[in-house]
Chains A and B, each alone.
Chain A
Amino acid sequence: DQQVKQNSPSLSVQEGRISILNCDYTNSMFDYFLWYKKYPAEGPTFLISISSIKDKNEDGRFTVFLNKSAKHLSLHIVPSQPGDSAVYFCAASEGNNAGNMLTFGGGTRLMVKP
C-alpha cells in the first residue's frame, strides 16, 4: 500500500485563481514533508517543505498546510500562473530515522489556463 497518496491525478485552474493540491499519508512516523515540482523532460525540483512541529509554511505564492490529526497536507498556490503548470509530488520522511528516505506520492498534474 502506498503510504503517501495524491488522490487527484490532475487539476485544472484558471490563471489568477487559487490552486489547491492535496496529499494524504498513513505513516504516523512521518514528520517532515516536502513538495516537488516537475516539468516535462526535467527532474523534480524542491519547492517547499514543512516540519511536523508546524502547521503552516509560506514561501511567496506557495503555502503548505499540515493537519497531523487528519494525516493530510495541502499546497496552495495563489495566484496561479501558467508557468506553474507541472506535475507536483508530495513526499514524506521519518525525520531522524536512519536513511531519511523520502516516500513520494503519485503526483498531481496541474494545468493553469491563461
Chain B
Amino acid sequence: DADVTQTPRNRITKTGKRIMLECSQTKGHDRMYWYRQDPGLGLRLIYYSFDVKDINKGEISDGYSVSRQAQAKFSLSLESAIPNQTALYFCATSDWTGVLETQYFGPGTRLLVL
C-alpha cells in the first residue's frame, strides 16, 4: 500500500464550486504539505502543517484553505474554484531529522476547473 494517498486522483468541476482534495499518510510523519504543479513552474507550496495544531500559509495560499484533521490527514479546499486553479496538486509528508528534510509525495490529483 502507498504511504501517501490522495483522493480523488482526477476531478472536473465548474467555476464557483467548492471542492476538497484529501490526503492521508501512513508514514507517521508530523509534517504535511500541499503543492500545485504548473507547467514550467515546478511545484509551488500552498499550505503546510508541522503538526495537528499548526497550519501555515505557503507561497500561493490565496483561494485555498486546509484542515489537519489528524496527524495522518491533511485536506485542501478550494472554496470557490476558478479556472486558473486548474493544475496538478500534490500532498507531501516529511521526516524532520533536525538537520535535513526529505519530502515524500503522493501520486497527485489532477484538477480541471471549467
Chain A residues close to B by CB (< 8 Å): 2, 4, 6, 9, 32, 34, 36, 41-46, 49, 51, 89, 93, 95-96, 99-102, 104-107
Contact = CB atoms under 8 A, between A and B. Distances in A.
Nearest to B103: A102
A interface, over-half SS:
loop
Interface in B46-82: 48, 50, 56, 58
Interface of B: 4, 35, 40-45, 48, 50, 56, 58, 90, 92, 96, 99-108
6 contacts: A34-B102, A43-B4, A43-B106, A95-B99, A99-B48, A106-B42
Contact of B107 (A6, A41, A107): A41
Contact of B101 (A41, A100, A107): A100
A43 B108 contact: yes
